[in-house]
Amino acid sequence: MRLSSQRFAAGTMGMNGGTSRRRRRQEAVAMVLAIATLAAVAAAGEQQEASGVNVTAICLSTPYPGACRTALSSSGSQAAKDPFAASVQFAMARAASARALARNLSSASSGRRGALPPSGMDDCAELLDVSHGQLGDALAAGSTHDATTWLSAALTNQDSCADSLDAVPASAGREGVRRRVGALSEFIGTALALHAKLKGASATPPPSPSPNRTFPSWVSDHDRKILESAAGGVTPNAVVALDGSGTHGTIGDAIAAVTSAAMAPVGSSKAGVGAGRKVIYVKAGRYEESVRISSRQRNVMLMGDGKGKTVIVGHRSAADGYTTYASATVAAMGSGFIAKGLTIINDAGPGKGQAVALRVGGDLSIVYQCDIEAYQDTLYTHSNRQFYAEDGISGTVDFIFGNSAVVIQNCDIHPRKPRQGQKDTITAQGRTDPNQNTGISIHKCRIAAASDLGGTKVYLGRPWKAYSRTVVMESSLDHSITPAGWLEWSGQFALSTLYYGEYGNSGPGAGTSGRVKWGGVHTALSTVEATRFTVRDFILGDSWLGDTGVSYTSGL
């Protein structure tokens, strides 16, 4: 290095004057550039310092300031330009890392389990994969309501994973996943808070042209015609029959066949409702199988011959080693899911604990003219936006639960006889964060005791999670509803943070004078407050259910 410098110096000793002047000009230009560079560096430093102050201030307004600072400080200048996008991208990276670990642990243990029930680690591997896609969708969302929905669902997945991990034997691997999931919950909660703060709430949807419409408008014309038709009037993509007269003998085989060429892109949870609808006609009969529709199997419709005719039966339960998540007879995580004319049963019985009949986590899902029957945890409205109409739902403990944004309308809800010593609770809503746009809305339904209920006390609900939110509106409540109305989960847990509302109900169980006096219980919602939980406002149904021949109420 030094020798090269000497050679360069010797070679310039004999330069003429023109060369010297040219060199001086070059040196002057270099000096100007150096000064400009120093000024730019100084300005960048000042800007970075100012951005740091802004990031700190923003993070102080979130529920997890430490997680917020970690996410944004790793994003450099992008955090200053778009803190929300930076937080989501950071959460996506963490979700991918947690997913990889859960998958490895799930694969390693699957061989050892053999024929045993799936592990809670399997649940986590699936839920983390779904979460990664939902975070990407939220980042690219075209509306604030969509983004909030998908972030809310991704956060719900972490809570479901954590619940399933309780069933996994203690190990370093389990605790490693638990730590990652706990941290990821904070990062997603940060993104949700930043979205609420920086992007604002969803714009108020346009008024419905009529308070009484057919299916909400996110149902396409194609789907509307299918829902209006009897099974014989639809040309299905597959037919399931027990007598060999169909294209398939099991529902699972039919789902695999119709979705094999139409799988959603990896990492996508968007519905695209109506596009590529796959109709599976399930002929009358009793089908004993566990039906699974994955998050990548979109726009699947299961159409039966009617309640009590096409019956799907499962037997999985907590007592037999299944997690609540894995116990479902039918589980639909693909967006755009529709079920019509089915009876879905988990017959594990009241003594076997959690035993789900139907779990739905697909966005923009519809369950129409179905019966859903079990005991504890009958209907798991897991996540995303859902609509139920003209269904029968029966169970005992927490038999409508989950953390979706769901409207249950014009349905018959039947509390039935539980295990000895138990009380019946109709709902157990699982909202964990005040920024989630989730909750259970029971609207224009009929709540009446099943014939075997006897003298069992029945409550409208209890708070499964800290920000549990449930409303019962314009419904008939029979004598089985206890005057207190709502039941605590454990001591004082969530009593000051929950939101329980009643509006315009009728019947002997609708009186509110004896209701519990918790701060979060609203026994006389105003019309304005109640409107927030209608099809039109709560799930923006008029934008995705469409104009169909089946009546529903958009507003109050």
- Report the catalytic residues: 398
Residues 6+ apart with CB under 8 A from 160: 123, 127, 325, 382
From residue 282, give the alpha-carbon distance in Å to each of 16, 287, 407: 96, 9, 26
What does the DSSP assignment read for 511-548? --TTS---TTEESS--HHHHHTTSHHHHS-GGGTS---
Query: How would you classify the pairing of strands 385-389 and 300-304?
Result: unpaired
Cα–Cα nearest to 193, from 102, 93, 91, 322: 91
Cα–Cα nearest to 501, from 466, 464, 473: 473
Helix and strand numbers (H, E) in the chain are: 12, 28
Three-class DSSP labels, 310-340: EEEEECCCHHHCCCCHHHCCEEECCCCCEEE
C-alpha 272/C-alpha 257 separation (Å) is: 20
Three-class DSSP labels, 269-318: CCCCCCCCCEEEEECCEEEECCEEECCCCCCEEEEECCCCCEEEEECCCH
CB 194 within 8 A of CB 57: no
DSSP label of 132: H
Q: Phi/psi of residue 322, each to 5°?
A: -95, 145
CB 360 within 8 A of CB 380: yes
CB 204 within 8 A of CB 213: no
The 10 Å CB-count burial string (b at 16+, else e) for 294-316 is bbbbbbbbbbbbbbebbbbbbbb
From residue 263, give the alpha-carbon distance in Å to each of 20, 249, 270, 340: 71, 22, 12, 22
